[in-house]
Amino acid sequence: MKATVRNFTFLLLTAISVTGYTQNIPFPAGPDPDRIVLNVTEDPSTSLAVTWRTCDTISTSIAEIMEASSDPMATLKAVKQVAHSEKFQYDNISVFYHSYIFKNLKPKTRYMYRVGTENHWSEWFHITTAGLPGDKLSFIYFGDVQAGIKSLWSGVIRAAYAKMPEANAIMYAGDIVNRGEFDHEWGELFYAGNFIHSTIPGIMSPGNHEYAKTKGDKLSAFWRPQFTLPENGPEGVKETAYFSDIQGMRFISLNSNQAEEVPADLESQKQWLDSVLQHNPNKWTCVIFHHPIYSIAPQRDNPWMRDNFKPLFDKYKVDLVMQGHDHAYARGMKKIDGATGHENSGTMYVISMSGAKMYKENQKPWMDKNGGHTQLFQLITVDGNTLSYKSYTATGDLFDTFKLIKQKGKKNKLVED
C-alpha cells in the first residue's frame, strides 16, 4: 500500500509541475530588470558576474557597483558600467538579456550593486566577495529541482538560505527545470529564488532536462543568455563545463549529458579535467555533474561517467562528488570501489534531490546512507582541514551529517556524526 501511495504522490506532484502547460507560455518581461542572477567567475574574490532580463523595448542597460554604505547619498558615487545586451527571440518570446562582469574587486569585501536604466532600476543588492585560501568556506548544494518549483521548491531554497545566509555559493546538480525550452519553468525558478539568486553566486551544472529533445537534443536556448558562467572549459561545452576557485576549494562542473551523447565532448572533458586537477593549487576539490558515478535506481547505470572520470577522481584525490538525476538520496565512501577493509576511497559521492519529483529509494552496496521521498538541501562548510556536511529536510530537520578530515599524504578520514 505504501508503495502505491508514493507512486500516486509522484504522479500527482509531476502533474502539478506541468498542468496547464502544453506550449511555451512566456513569463512576461517588463522594463524593470527581473531574473537577476549572480554567478561565479573563475575567481569570485576579485570578480562576479550578473545577468538580468528586460522587455524588448529596453535594448541597453547599466550595472552600478560600490562598496556597501549605509549613507543613501553615497550611491550617487557608484561606478556605472554599460552592460552587454543581446536580443533574445525564441518561439513567441522576445526579450533582452543583459550581463556584466564586475572586475577588480577586493577580496572579502561587502559591495552593493544594482542594474537597470533611467527610471527602471532594480533594488540595491548587498554582496560579499570571496575571501582567500584558508578562510572558512560555506556553500549550499541542491539536487534536481525540476518539479513543483514554485509550489514546493520555493520553501526549500528559502529554508537553506535561512540556515546559511553567508553562503559563498549555491550549486545546482542539473535538471534545474523539467523542460529547458519552457520559459514559464525558468520563471518559476527565479520566482522561487528571488533575491537569493541575486546575492549568492550560483554554480549551475546542466542535466538532461536542460536539453530539449524536441529541438534536436540541444542545450536549452535559455542557458547561456540567462547565466554568465566561466568560459574556462573545453570548446563545445563552455559555460557548462568550467571551474571556479573559492577560498581554497576548486569547484568543477562537468557536462555529463554531452559526455553521454557526443564522444568528442566526452574526450575533451576528460583531458580538460585531467589538466584542471593536475594544476590545482587548492587544498580541497568538489566536482558537480548530473549523471551519478554510482546510481540509486535499479535500472540505471552511467558507465561513461564511471569508466572515464572516476580514475581521475581517484588519481587526484577529489574530496566531494555532487550529483543528481536519481530523485532520491544516497552517499557513500567506505564501500566505493577501491576501498579495502576499513579504509575508505577518499572521495565522498553524494546524490540528492530538492524538488517534488521522487523515485523509489534503493539500498545498494556502495551506500553508507540512503533515503527517499523527502525534499532535501545540503549545507557544507570547510574550515582548515575539516569539511562538515549537513543534509536537511525541507522542514529544517537534520537528515544526514558527516565530516571529512584531510590528512596529509593519506586519504580523507570519514567521521560519522
Task: State how far the Cα of 407 lies from the Cα of 111, in Å rounded to an integer.
Answer: 36
Task: Characterize the bridge pairing of strands 320-323 and 284-288.
Answer: parallel
Reported as a single tens digit per residue, the pLDDT across 301-329 is 999 999 999 999 999 999 999 999 999 99
Pick the closest to residue 207 from 78, 108, 323, 303 (CA basis).
323
Task: State how far the Cα of 105 lies from the Cα of 41, in Å rounded to an integer.
Answer: 12
Burial pattern 106-117, b for ≥16 Cβ within 10 A else e, equals eeeeebbbbbbb
Task: Characterize the bridge pairing of strands 48-55 and 329-332.
Answer: unpaired
Q: State the pTM of this model.
A: 0.93
Q: Looking at domain 34-128, what is its CATH homologous superfamily?
A: Purple acid phosphatase-like, N-terminal (2.60.40.380)
Half-sphere exposure of 88 (CA within 13 A, CB side): 23
* Residues in Cβ contact with 33 at an 8 Å cutoff, skipping those fewer than 6 apart: 52, 53, 54, 61, 98, 115, 116, 120, 121, 122
Reported as a single tens digit per residue, the pLDDT across 159-172 is 999 999 999 999 99
Query: Residue 115 pairs with which residues in a beta bridge?
Result: 63
Tens-level pLDDT at each residue, the chain (417 residues): 444 444 444 444 444 444 345 567 778 899 999 999 999 999 999 999 999 999 999 999 999 999 999 999 999 999 999 999 999 999 889 999 999 999 999 999 999 999 999 999 999 999 999 999 999 999 999 999 999 999 999 999 999 999 999 999 999 999 999 999 999 999 999 999 999 999 999 999 999 999 976 555 799 999 999 999 999 999 999 999 999 999 999 999 999 999 999 999 999 999 999 999 999 999 999 999 999 999 998 788 999 999 999 999 999 999 999 999 999 999 999 888 877 666 778 899 999 999 999 998 888 999 999 999 999 999 999 999 999 999 999 999 999 999 999 998 899 999 998
In CATH, the architecture of 137-416 is: 4-Layer Sandwich (3.60)
How big is the CA angle at 278 (ends 43 and 318), to the nearest 5 degrees?
A: 80
Domain ranges of the chain: 34-128, 137-416
What backbone phi and psi angles, to 5 degrees, belong to 79?
-75, 125
Query: Cell 549613507, residue?
Result: 71
